[in-house]
Structure formats: structure tokens, C-alpha cells
Structure 1
């Protein structure tokens, strides 16, 4: 059988020593070198990288220096790649000779996204000839740093991602990431809004997971990173600032309480609701929209949208949800008519999805939709209903709800509520 063509995409910026080691390591791969191409995607270095003569095809692609744009660089390389498998390796990462072959075996066995094993060593003084001797078992081994414990434990807990759940994306690192070309094109590549270190790999992997991709961590695909793990090379203040920059960008694109907490409105909701409001009374639509938005990170798209003449909620839209929204939402709800959900929120139902309430409301997982998952089970919980909204009297409904509300502070008519003065400090 002819080995698949593998395209190795290497984002690079001002790192000629690291790049020389990586390109040398690729010469030592057990995968046939005539079935290997390398694309160095340079992120605006002052001088263009010079890969030199290599026993495999290699090209250099360049983009302007507009800040940290590793995601855009990877997309640049992938756009020119010809391989069936896209193998992303950071320029400061050196793959062992069996790395590409191990990735190909995993893809052949059915994996759509493969994460290698990233180990850490001090390669700052390692020359290409020394690397050859090291990988050939004839030279000294560089000083090794600890592997991230959280990654190792996650892979053990999930059987190398075979048993992972919706948090699988958190264990994907772009330094040792490979995908099939088909998956990469289906999800649209990396999100280029990430303009600082970290996060673009998680966001990409999240969309791959929702698309139904099969994830695998391959311990045999070992690549050595020059230096310790990022968390180990920064002080607390610097690490906190870096996490906040990364976390705020992630919150824009990756829904879920772990990334964005609650109570805020985001352009990419966790739940997408498509509601056919054609011919429905505006009051019925408003009551329905309110019930599905309450307490949930959701967005509603109305087919007709007549209610938008009175609704000014940024979570409510007209027409079809864009592909970028559908590709990031974990849950879908399609309503052929307005309904009023009571006794639970969409967030509650998402925790037990796929699930159906009544005849008209079903919450489905996006990943299940792409993988042909199970039909929703009927929820049988007293008090939880999803009834058609028909001839709703909003004033009476909302007035009744207001009457039922309990005030947070019970004030006695005979004892007025008096604030206690804050004691002053002694002179």
C-alpha cells in the first residue's frame, strides 16, 4: 500500500536554531520521505527562513508581522498543503523518528484528530549533528524537564481521549496536533481572532469535537519541546495576565460555564434555538422567547421575525443562524411553533440531553447530530412542561409572576429598615 501524503505545517517566528533542529528531525522520520512535505509558515520574521536542501519537499510561506498570529500562520500553511494528513508541529518542537508514522497509524485506525505526546528538554545548546546522535542512541540526552501532570492524568482518565466527553478539547495542544484534511476543511481551520499565546488549539478542537470527530492521544508520537511547560517558566503575575488574555478570547468562542461563567451575553451561545414564528401572534412569540432564554446561555433565531419590532434583546435574531454559530453551539433546539417552557431551563435540559419535553421541544447535542446519535428520551419530571403558546395574555401572566415573587428583605411596617452606620476608626 502507498503511504498517505503527510503535510507538516510549522508556524515559525525568529527561531532559526529551533527550526534547524525540527527540519533535521523530519529527515530522520520512518515515514517515507517522498510522502512527506513540509510547509514553514513564517509569521513575519525579519529575515525569511532558509530551510536549505532537504530529502523531502519543503516550502516557505510568509505573512506580515502583525503581532502573534500562530493561528493565521497554520491556516496559511494548510491552505497550500497537498497531504491527506495535516501534521502541525511548532518550530520549537522536535519529533522523534517514529512521530509521523505513529500519527498515520492512528488516522488509519479511524482517528480524525490526533494529539502526540509532548515532552520537554533543554535543547538550547543542541546542534543538528548532536540531535542525530541523540536520536540514533549514540549521543548524550539533553536535560529533561517534567511533563505537565494535568495532561498525563487527563489522558489516563480518558483512555487516551477514547472515552473523553465535551471537555476533550482541553487536552489538545497545537504543538503536537494532527488532523485529517477533511476535518480541517469541514470546521474551517483555526480561528484567527486569537492574537496572543494560547487558546486557538482549544477553540479549534472544540469545533472538531462538535463536528463529531474521533479524538486520540498517541503516546508513541513523541515530540520534544525546547524548554519547560509554559506554566513552569512564568511568575504568578505574568501567568495570570496570560491566562486572562487567553481566557477572554476563549469565552467569546467556546461556550460552557467553565469558560464564560453565566449571566453574560455572547455572540456564540451554548444553545441555538430555531423558532418558526410564521403567522404567530407577537405576544405568543415574546412569551416563548422569554421562556427559552431565561437562565440559559442561548440564542434564538426567528424565521419570520415580526416580533423584532418590539423585542430589542441582542440574543434574538431573524433568519438562519450563521455557520460560525452552529459550529460552536453544543446544543440545538428546533421549534415548529412558539412554546412556553416552565419548570426548567434549557440549561437544565442540556445537562440530560438528548431529551424531549412534550410534543414540540427537544434538546439535541450538536455532536450527536453529526454522528447519528440517539433520539431524545422523553423527560418525565412533574412540573416541567413545554406547552404551545397560544392567545397568551402577557399582562396577566407577568402580573401574576410579579405577585408570586418573594422580596429578598421582609420589612415590618412597625419597624422601619434602618442601615447601621459603619463604625469609624479610632484616631
Structure 2
């Protein structure tokens, strides 16, 4: 049997104008059964009018603060993480009170191989609970001091059961991560770059972070024994339908900027172009014929949420397409795309869209086109490549491309879908049979 854990843990508590709730969280951290000398607590204040005072505690605690520039919980969490020292970072909202076994349950999950751990968030009415009452409830097991309990969100419970507590989750795993009870290894948090600080409204920043962690190859776990109590009902239970809809729209639009996929952007190939595409293509075009490059790019972008980076970029300005770039993809783009394609020469994809191939990735078409999953690139147990041999689907090196003929072929002509209704005008259209003279 192994000895007691020696893992150091930082608890980062983002806070804004919640002195009562913060006092409960700091009191609950005194009751943790993980060794308190291994605990490092950082209160990250988001510009409260009066800076919080954590008081004397049996663990290390300090306050870091940022200016009040609106809702900046993501930035506050990053600020707190940067000031912390633990091997594991536990993010606990200032209104989310951990049970005594919370930290140790997280540590056990990490020591068993998890990179990202989601605790169980329960809901209770803690508005009138004092620190002394909290000690009687959590420290002494006095049921009479326990708060009134609210229902847990059914959709989360179902998701954790369906995915074996995220062990069998897929690319949608990020949707079951909530920042109020989120923990990661420091190595993972620093590798992906922390929270995206452009989130300045409630919700979304936890899913965005979790999405990048997933693509980076992280192992997710939901740990039901890591229980923390949120003061109040779940968000859906404290808003009316209109408020909830407006909040979902704000969150959805913020997520769509950074999280690719049908769940956030609808089906690929829509009218909108995103800075962070679902599929990133890098094409070495240094010695390629410009017409071949154009034909390749056109075939890969058609019907897909994709972006193409040309290493040389000689035709990028001629294309004038916001999805075509020059050089190497930025780290922020590579960290958010679900799929990668690297080409050492142009190929023309026919018979399927790049988005359709991505659905069965990793997949190879012909000798030159390989669509990879970003997550697989970061994991030793990545999926085997499927060699696609389907009639009508090809990715061939272009031969003697003639763009004018290709784009102007007779079979591209079509009858207009709509005709001008006769009643729109009683005038006979003017048809010139010969150029009228100046004196006519």
C-alpha cells in the first residue's frame, strides 16, 4: 500500500463581491483531509470595491487582484493560477463550498492518470449558513446544520453516466466540464495556455478551455466523490425562459469563435468564416504551379469549415479569400482545430468534401491526402488510419490545369431557378438589334 499523498495542490478561487460565500469556501478548505501543508490557496479578486481579507488560516493563502473592467472570471483564474505553485490546480468558484474529501478525491484521480478532473457540483441554500454552522455540517456531520438542497442538473448526471464518468467521452467531452469544480495538472494548464480571456460574460470559458485540453490529448475524468456545494440553484433553475435563451445566445456566440464543430457552428460549409477553422490545411506550394494551388485550395475549402496555410503564398493575394493564409498556422489556431492536413504538393479532392472525410478521420485518400485528428497527434494510442477506397472519391495531383476552361465549361451553365413574373412589368424589355445612332 502506498503512503500518504505528497502532491501539492493550489486552490484558485475567483472572487467578486462575495465576502460571505468566500468565508464559507475558505472555512471548508480548513476541513480538507488532504495535508494542509501541501495546500496553497490563492483568492483571485476580479476588482471588488474592497479587497477580500482571507484572515488567518491553517494553510498558505494570499490574495491577488485585477482592476474592475467588467466580468473577467477567465482572466482572474489565469491570474490566480500564475501566482500559485501546486502540481495540481483546483479551480473553485467563490460560491462553491467543497466537502472535506474534495481535494483528496481530485488528487487520487490525477495520480491514477487523469489530466483534467471534474468534481460533482451539488446545490444548496447557503445564504444563511455561517462558518460555524458549516463546521458543524461538514466537519462534525450534524445533519441539522445542513442546508436545504436543490436538484442537480439532470443533463449532467445523464452525461456522466452515459460516458462512464468521461472515460468513454468523445469530442463532445468539453460540454460536461464546469469551471466551478474543475481541476487540472499544472503541466496541462500551462501547455494549453490557460483560459481564453476574451470571454467577458457568464459561461463558455470552461468549455473552451476543456476543448483545447481535449485536443491536446488530455485524459478526462468526472470524480463523483469530489463534491462541492454551490450556493443556489443551477443556472437554468434561477432564470426564466427569455433570460436563459439570451444567456445561451451570448455564450453560444462566444463559443463559436473558438470551438469548431456542428454543436457550436452548425453544419460545415455555411456562410460564415471563422478565425479558428475546424480543419487546418498546410500546403507546401513553393514549387507548385499557381493554377494547381488554386484548384487544390478550391477543392479543399468547398463545403468545409477549413482554413489553408500556404508556405510560400504566391497566390494568396490573388485569391483574396479570408480562409487562405501565408506561412505557418498560429499556435492558437492549431490548438483549436479538430483535424489537420499537411500536403507536400497540391491535390484536387473530388467526390467528397473535406468535412465528410474528417468525420471518419484519421483517413487517407490516395497517396498524398491524409486527414488526421488533432487529439490523435498528441496521444500514443491514436486511432489507426483508414485507407478510403470508395468509387468516385479521389485526391489526385492535378494535371495541366486550365482554370478558364475548367471554370467556364459548358456543363457549368444552368437555367435560372427563378423567372421574373409577367405581372411585375407591363413594359416590353428593350432589345437592341443594332447600336442606335447618336441622332436617334
The TM-score normalised by the length of structure 1 is 0.95
**Equivalent residue for 2:176?**
171
Larger Rg computed on CA atoms: 2
Q: What does the per-residue CA deviation read over 1:302-335, in whole Å, with 9 as the maximum and x for residues that have no partner?
A: 0110012311000000000000000000000001
Q: Secondary structure at the match of 2:249?
A: helix
How far apart are 1:419 and its partner, in Å? 6.6
- Cα distance between partner residues in 2 of 1:347 and 1:407: 29
- Cα distance between partner residues in 2 of 1:113 and 1:287: 42
- Identify the range of structure 1 (336-345 vs 238-247) with the bigger mean alpha-carbon deviation: 238-247
2:386 is the counterpart of 1:383: no
**Equivalent residue for 1:424?**
none
**Equivalent residue for 2:114?**
111
1:358-397 correspondence runs (5 A): 358-372=366-380, 373-397=382-406
2:33 is the counterpart of 1:30: yes
Question: Which aligned runs of 4 or more in structure 1 are off by greater than 6 angstroms?
Answer: none
1:66-215 correspondence runs (5 A): 66-135=69-138, 136-138=140-142, 139-215=144-220
Contact 2:308 2:323 in 1 (8 A): yes
- Identify the range of structure 1 (2-11 vs 158-167) with the bigger mean alpha-carbon deviation: 2-11
- Identify the range of structure 1 (255-264 vs 320-329) with the bigger mean alpha-carbon deviation: 255-264
Q: What does the per-residue CA deviation read over 1:61-91, in whole Å, with 9 as the maximum and x for residues that have no partner?
A: 0000000000000000000111000000000
- Cα distance between partner residues in 2 of 1:379 and 1:159: 31
CA RMSD of aligned residues (A): 1.5
Query: Unaligned regions of 5+ residues in structure 1, if any?
Result: 422-427
**Equivalent residue for 1:47?**
50
- Cα distance between partner residues in 2 of 1:281 and 1:58: 62
**Equivalent residue for 2:430?**
none
Query: Unaligned regions of 5+ residues in structure 2, if any?
Result: 426-440
Contact 2:280 2:307 in 1 (8 A): yes
Q: Secondary structure at the match of 1:310?
A: helix
Count, aligned residues: 416
How far apart are 1:374 and its partner, in Å? 3.2
| Shift in alpha-carbon separation, 1:405–1:227, aligned structure 2, 3 A | farther
Q: Which of 241, 253, 263 does residue 258 from structure 1 map onto?
A: 263
2:360 is the counterpart of 1:357: no
The TM-score normalised by the length of structure 2 is 0.92
